[in-house]
Structure formats: structure tokens, C-alpha cells
Amino acid sequence: MRTPSAPTEEPAARELASRIAAGDRRALARAITLVESTRPEDRAPAEALMAALPRSSIESLRIGIAGAPGVGKSTLIETLGLHAIGQGHRLAVLAVDPSSPVSGGSILGDKTRMAELSRAPAAFIRPSPAAGRLGGVARRTAEAVRLCEAAGHGRIIVETVGLGQSETAISGLVDLVLLLVPPGGGDELQGIKRGIMETADILVVTKADGAMLEQAGRTAAEYQHALRLIRPQPGWAPVARTCSALTGAGIAELWAEIERFQEALGPAAMAARRSEQAVQQLSAEIEEELKAALGRAGLGDRLAALQREVAAGRLTPRAAARAIVAELVKPAAEP
């Protein structure tokens, strides 16, 4: 099945893909905008682009960074990113933002974030998307990650911006998750969603400097103790570390820990994990496609009405599901 516009699109997709592979930063930025777009007319070109993309030959590492607003994600990424570049890596920084109006990144403004890192030729920083512009957040970020890898960026940082599902969605997008927490006890953890602590591979206590230095060390020890009670992934037991973006203390050690994770897992386990993530993304994509199909069939309001009936206990989930699916799908051929 070809869309009518496909023949003219494919040369354009191939050209854009080869410019990305050649390291053209503006082409990369344009491509990410294309895959993130929710405009229906951008869908076919975006798909053609992803299909035209050569498989990246570099061995990449995808690093998720989660944490509540104010914990110091941007400053840590700047400091850690400059260290990574100093080690010879090419780095890309992307953001997952569930279109929250209280997005920390958007409030600060993209231009003031990571000022030094954004000027480095080996770094590509994608400004966080404006609130409300994104559709299925995690789905598009996965494609943006692959575009950055095709452009030769071997280290990808995916940052959660704002609160919400992004914190738990991030573990489906990356190879390892860094969870940033402030010095202090559990009371300060109000911004962290339930569920994220157990997905953290490295827990980082930030702002370990000045008056907070000692408190940060105690906090890390406490978390290290708590992490011991959580079942580890095969091949990696979660660790808690401290660092300071201000003094640089602990930054080189944190980067070494990240690379130790990559070695500990090994390429086979990491490839298996990525395959599993892709299959999970397929489920999410099918759900999105079906939602779009419901909309096209004029059934969006019908689904909302059924959801209200189910929430009120007037209809069972099973009966509601059968009703909506029967209206959507082609009738099965009678045997």
C-alpha cells in the first residue's frame, strides 16, 4: 500500500537522511521536528525518512535522566556532557516532556539552559518541545534518538522535563536510568513519581557541595541501603552516588560508573533490551493509531462516553470494549 505522495517523497527522505549522516546539524534539527510533528501531512514524510535512515554503525549508549524540577538536571547534564565530550564522545541531549504546562524546562527558556555545552561542536542539544506541541511523547523521542545516532552521536542523554508520566516512560527509551535526588531525606522526594525509584540504575544525590556536602553523603548511604532491598536487573546492582555540578566533584566518577554499566551489561543484553523496548513501542504505536482511527471514524466522542459509563460503574469494561471495537473494525468474514 503506497500513499499517493510517496514517489516524490522518497528522494527527499533519502537526501535528508544522507545529510544527517554527514553531520549536518540543521538537517538533524529539521528531521527531529518532522518526526515530532503531529500534523497529518507530516506523517508519510516522517515514515519515509525513518525508513531511509542507514542503520547506525556506532555503538551508542542511551542515558535517561529523571528527577523532580529543581533537583539540578540541566546543570548536571551540562557538566557531565562537557566531561563526556572531553573524553572524545559526541553527545546529543533530548528531552521528554509530557506537554505539561508546568514544565521546568520551558519556564527557564531553552536558550539559557546548558549555555557552554550548547556551543560545543561535539554536542547537539535539542530544545525541549513547547508545551502542547507534542502528541505521543515517548514514541517520537525514540525516533529522535535514532536520528541522533544516525548523525554520529554515540552518547544520547534523554532528560525528563516537568512532572508526569515522562519519569516512568523514560525507562522504555534508554539503556540506563539516572535518578537525581536532592540531599535530604524522603520528605524531599515529593516530586518523584511512585515507580521511578525501582527503575533507577544509578541514583545520584546532587548538590554535594558547601553546607550540603555531609548531608548529601548521608543521603546517598541511605539510598544505597534502600536500593539493596530492590531486586536488581540481571548484570547490574543499582548504586547511589553523590556529585556536584558546581565544584565538579564526583562528575568523572559518575561518568565512569555509566561506562561501567555498559560494560557490565554487555552488547548482547543491551541489544535484547532494545528489541524488547521496540516491541513495547509497537504496542503503544498501535494504540495511538487506533485512537487516530477512532477519531477519523467519528468515534472519539463515543469512546469518551463509554469511559464515563465505565468509571461510573454503569457498564463493565468488557462490554464497553466490545461495543467500541465492533464499530471500528471490519466485519470478520463468516466461516
**Binding positions for its own copies, rule: CB under 8 A:** 1, 43, 46-47, 50-51, 55, 139, 142-143, 185-186, 189-190, 192-195, 197-199, 222-223, 225-226, 228-231, 233, 274-276, 278-279, 281-290, 293, 296-297, 306-307, 310-313, 316-326, 328-330, 332
DSSP-derived secondary structure letter, 199:
G
- Residue 260's nearest CA partner among 124, 99, 109, 63 is 63
Cβ 280 to its own copies shortest distance, Å: 9
Residue number with CB closer to its own copies (33 or 233): 233
Residue number with CB closer to its own copies (46 or 137): 46
Residue number with CB closer to its own copies (54 or 109): 54
| Phi, psi dihedrals of residue 64, rounded to the nearest 5° | -90, 140
Residue number with CB closer to its own copies (62 or 113): 62
Cβ 315 to its own copies shortest distance, Å: 8
Cβ 33 to its own copies shortest distance, Å: 16
Integer CA distances (angstroms), 313 to 207, 303, 304, 319, in order = 48, 15, 14, 12
Residue number with CB closer to its own copies (117 or 197): 197
Cβ 245 to its own copies shortest distance, Å: 23
Residue number with CB closer to its own copies (213 or 328): 328
Degrees (nearest 5) of the Cα angle 190, 191, 194? 80
Radius of gyration, alpha carbons of the chain: 22
Give me the amino acid identity at 150. Answer: A
Q: Is residue 49 left, alpha or beta, with left meaning phi > 0 and alpha meaning psi from -120 to 50?
A: alpha
Contact 155, 83 (CB under 8 A): no
DSSP 258-296: HHHHHHHHHHHHHHHHHHHHHHHHHHHHHHHHHHHHHHH
DSSP-derived secondary structure letter, 234:
T
Residue number with CB closer to its own copies (68 or 245): 68
Contact 238, 206 (CB under 8 A): no
Cβ 53 to its own copies shortest distance, Å: 9
DSSP-derived secondary structure letter, 42:
G
Strand-strand pairing, 176-181 and 155-160? unpaired
Residue number with CB closer to its own copies (211 or 229): 229
Q: How far apart are CA 14 and CA 260, in angstroms?
A: 37
Cβ 147 to its own copies shortest distance, Å: 11
